[in-house]
Amino acid sequence: MDATRILAIRHGETAWNVDTRIQGHRDIALNDTGRWQAAQVARALAGEPIAAVYASDLLRAHATGAAIADAARAPLHAEPGLRERSFGELEGRTFAEIEAELPEQALRWRKRDPDFAPEGGESLTLLQARIAGVTARLAAQHLGQQIVLVAHGGVLDVLYRLSTGQALQAPRTWQLTNTAINRLLWTPEALTLVGWGDTQHLDRASRDESTA
């Protein structure tokens, strides 16, 4: 069977993650925890056969991808198609600020309206089409190999839904942890889930050992 194994990784933590501030296409760097997480996932994947690492060109994802590529001795490619959903005018605001200042938009967002796009932003429907397309394009170049896709929470959410048949409006019951290891299998016929949310490399004992 012609198939491509995919390791899908969300970028390390940023200060805006901590503040629950919407990043979207804003280019926010990793914080200290995020840099540690990137180093940990890179170490965890160092022994994996990786043909290429494709990372969103936004700094938080690209820096995480660079750590993985360096540890795996794999080429790193910046891929704008893996960017987070564009949130337009909502970017830079916290969830609480959106609830208070733009309640109608907050409600449509909370209900996961597939066609809701913030002013200047992107709908879930458009995001899913973008991610399905870029994943298929990249995976098709690596049949029989394993690649890494380093992206964002919204992108990882779409990949989970695409690989499990979950609708865009279905409530999320899965985690989107920064630098968790998620495994998918792509064939020209389908994207399937192999494993999700592996965070063993981020446990406390691992952190204590690496920072001693």
Catalytic, out of 25, 62, 84, 152: 84
Please say if 84 is a catalytic residue.
yes
Please say if 79 is a catalytic residue.
no
16 annotated as a binding-site residue: yes
Q: What pLDDT digit, counting tens, does each position of 84-110 carry?
A: 999 999 999 999 999 999 999 999 998
Place of tokens 């795996």: 72
For residue 144, being part of any structural domain is answered with yes
| pLDDT higher than 80, residue 157 | yes
Give pLDDT, residue 212: 37
For residue 115, being part of any structural domain is answered with no
Number of domains in the chain: 1
For residue 110, being part of any structural domain is answered with no
Q: Which domain holds residue 205?
A: 4-87+123-211
Q: Provide DSSP, 19-62.
A: TTB--TT--PPB-HHHHHHHHHHHHHHTTS--SEEEE-SSHHHH
Residue 31 sits in a domain whose CATH number is 3.40.50.1240
For residue 109, being part of any structural domain is answered with no
205 annotated as a binding-site residue: no
For residue 188, being part of any structural domain is answered with yes
